[in-house]
Each structure stands twice: as structure tokens, then as C-alpha cells.
Amino acid sequence: MANTSQRALRLLSLLTTHRYWSLSELAARLEVSERTVRRDIETLRALDYPVMTAHGPGGGYRLGAAHALPPLSFDDEQALAVAVALQTAPSTVFGLGEDAARALETLTRVMPARLRAAMESLRLTKLQNYWEFPAPPIGSETLKAAGSAVRHRQVLIVHMLRADGSRPAPGDDDFSPARRVEPHHLVTWAGRWYVVGYDLADAAWRVHRLDRLHLNPPTGLPVRPRELPGGDVAHFVMTSHDRGDITDTWQCTGSARMNLPAETVARWAPGGSVVEYLGPDHCRLTIGAWSWAGVAGILATFDTDLDQVTPPELRRACRRLVRRWQAVSADLGDG
């Protein structure tokens, strides 16, 4: 009976891939006879799974839409993907934060021990921000390696990568030797993944973009207990002037000096921007967008005095926007 149940779950997993499977394909994947596959399909139908049949050369079996949500079956990769998605789901959209947390708890409760350990390694901190600037996809193995190092408190040896994901070779101008980092938190913010850790070479806390790191095999070296400056990982990440970001390749990139503290601008600047500390009350923000008007618009959201605006294309875009808003103001009148 156990073999029959396990085989039925494997069959269910195949049928959920939104394609038609021929009887011979299913029999080959399950390593059973076609007669056994037909019997297992009837078993699923008896459990109210809507297994559809299509006749003809391109036909076969697939799972259709049910009237109610039946029990689901995930393989290891699917379960981990759902766990990560539930943790990174926007919590401000229609109040889904509580529902996502309950779904994650339900999923965790039924996971086998080996899978639960892997999922726990991916417990992360998600910071809220109004900006979402997608980064290159992070491989599941990279996520699991970073999450495991954080959970088990083990030193990471990393190499810095270029913005395109390539790794500089010795002799290249941008090559830097491997660094030893004590990872303390795995964070998502503004559509990007970050590792917060203590850099042993610099003896300083750093925020690194995960897609800009090449992770070497686990070291097994223990992380020393350390207190994060301020004790609040969200505040630390959002107010860090350098989060390992390098301005992405945008159609337009410009900068301006702002009459605001760097930690204030860093908190609200889009991911991928660069905030340079110029003093207690001033900083320089470098930002990219698909148009010069877009760069100017982002700068304007900070509602502060600007100077040292570069390049000339950005200054011209600012002047155009000023003329447009002056025209709007004239149409509206003083009232």
C-alpha cells in the first residue's frame, strides 16, 4: 500500500506540470506498466483530483481545475520555492502578510525533517520599501548556501563579482582577493538579496548584494558572537551608505548633491543607487533610470535642495520639468 501511495503522489506531481502526458510516458517515468498507471489515475479521480483525458496524437492525461482545493504534493525543489516565495511576498498588498505567514507555517509543519532544515536555512529578513529594482536571479544553491551559513553561524569565503556576474581574474584592474565574512543575516530589500556580515579583513560590518558574491565551499569555521551596530538589521541595511551596490547599466545615470544626511537618503533610495557621505548634512546620490526625466523625478521625490547636478543631460531634463510644472501652475491659477 505504501508503494501505491508513493507512486500516486509521484503521478500527481507529474500531472500538475500543465502539459499532457501520454500513457507510455507516465509508465516510463513511474517505472510501472500502463495498466498500473490507469489504475492509479482512477485512484486519483476517486480522491476528487480532476484528471483530464485528451484523445488523439497530442493527447494524454493532465490535471484540470478542481471545484475545491485538493491536497497538494510538492517535490523538494517545489516546496523550497514556495517557502521562499511566501517569505518574500509583498506584505502590503491586500493585507496578505498574515495569510502568507499562516501558509508558511502550514507548509513547514508537514515537511520532512531534511527539507525543514533546508527551509529553516532560508529564514530571511524582508524589508519594506517603495522601490522594486529587480536583480539577476539568484540560484537556489547560492540561496541555500548563504542561508545555511547564516543559520549554522559559519564563516563564508567570498569573491566579489562584477555587475554582469562575471568573476575578475588575477591581474584585472577590478580583481580583489577572497574575503572572509561572518554572515549574520540574509535580507531582501527593493527586489534584491543581501548578506549582512562582519568582514574580517576590514574589521567592519558590511552589507553585500548576494548576486555580486561568489560563495566558496563551506568552511565550517564558527562565527564569533558579535552585536550588530544599533541591534536593528532593518535600520542597519536601509541606512548603510554602501550596500555592495554598483549603479546598474541604465540608459541614463546621473547624480546630485543633496541637502540631507546620507542615512536619510540611503533609507529611501532605490536599490542599485549609490549614496556618498559628504558630511553630517549632505550626501551625493547617484541613480539610474530609463530616461533623464526619470532620474530627475526620483531626485525630486526627496523634496530637498540640490546642486552639483550632473551630467548636462540631467540638468536639461530638470529645466524641462520646471517649465512643464510652471505651465501647469499657470493653468491652475493661484487659487
Give the pLDDT score at 112.
74
Does residue 269 form part of some domain? Answer: yes
> Residue 137's closest CA among 195, 80, 211?
211
Q: Domain count of the chain?
A: 4
Does residue 193 form part of some domain? Answer: yes
Does 153 share its domain with 224? Answer: yes
**Which structural domain, as residue segments, surrounds residue 292?**
252-332
Give the pLDDT score at 158.
92
For residue 12, name the pLDDT band (cuts at 50, 70, 90).
confident
Does 202 share its domain with 147? Answer: yes
Does 268 share its domain with 319? Answer: yes
Q: How far apart are CA 270 and CA 318, in angstroms?
A: 19
Average pLDDT over residues 318-327: 88
Higher per-residue pLDDT: 17 or 197: 197
Does 93 share its domain with 43? Answer: no
Does 228 share its domain with 153? Answer: yes
Residue 91 has pLDDT above 50, yes or no: no
Does 15 share its domain with 42? Answer: yes
Higher per-residue pLDDT: 317 or 144: 317
Does residue 298 form part of some domain? Answer: yes
Average pLDDT over residues 243-266: 79
Mean pLDDT for the chain?
79
For residue 180, name the pLDDT band (cuts at 50, 70, 90).
very high
Does residue 264 form part of some domain? Answer: yes
Does 177 share its domain with 146? Answer: yes
Contact 219, 213 (CB under 8 A): no
Average pLDDT over residues 185-189: 81
Average pLDDT over residues 71-86: 71
For residue 254, name the pLDDT band (cuts at 50, 70, 90).
very high
Give the pLDDT score at 67.
54
Does residue 196 form part of some domain? Answer: yes
Q: Buried b / exposed e across 31-63, counting CB within 10 Å, b at 16+?
A: ebeeebbeebbebbeeeebebeeeeeeeebbbb
Domain containing residue 257: CATH number: 3.30.70.250
Contact 156, 183 (CB under 8 A): yes
Domain containing residue 16: CATH number: 1.10.10.10
What is the DSSP-derived secondary structure letter of residue 258?
E
Residue 262 has pLDDT above 60, yes or no: yes
Query: pLDDT digit string (tens) for 208-252?
Result: 888 888 999 888 899 888 998 888 887 787 777 666 655 556 788
Give the pLDDT score at 94.
42
Does 156 share its domain with 201? Answer: yes
Higher per-residue pLDDT: 299 or 107: 299
Does residue 292 form part of some domain? Answer: yes
CA atoms within a 13 Å half-sphere pointing along the CA-CB vector of 191 = 13
Q: How far apart are CA 229 and CA 231, in angstroms?
A: 5
Does residue 185 form part of some domain? Answer: yes
Q: Buried b / exposed e across 74-101, counting CB within 10 Å, b at 16+?
A: beeeebbebbbebbebeeeeeeeeeebe
> 298 phi and psi, to 5 degrees?
-65, -45
CA atoms within a 13 Å half-sphere pointing along the CA-CB vector of 220 = 0
Does 173 share its domain with 228? Answer: yes
Residue 185 has pLDDT above 50, yes or no: yes
Does 148 share its domain with 229? Answer: yes
Query: pLDDT digit string (tens) for 277-304?
Result: 788 888 889 888 889 999 999 999 998 9
Last residue of a domain, one of 35, 63, 91: 63
Does 307 share its domain with 221? Answer: no
For residue 130, name the pLDDT band (cuts at 50, 70, 90).
very low
Domain containing residue 178: CATH number: 2.30.30
Q: How far apart are CA 186 and CA 147, in angstroms?
A: 7
Last residue of a domain, one of 187, 212, 236: 236
Average pLDDT over residues 142-149: 84
Cell reading at 75: 517535490
Residue 273 has pLDDT above 50, yes or no: yes
Give the pLDDT score at 256.
94
| Rg over CA atoms, the chain | 26
- Per cent of the chain over pLDDT 70 is 76
Does 94 share its domain with 168? Answer: no
Does residue 69 form part of some domain? Answer: no
Cell numbers 553561524 correspond to what residue?
153
Average pLDDT over residues 314-330: 88
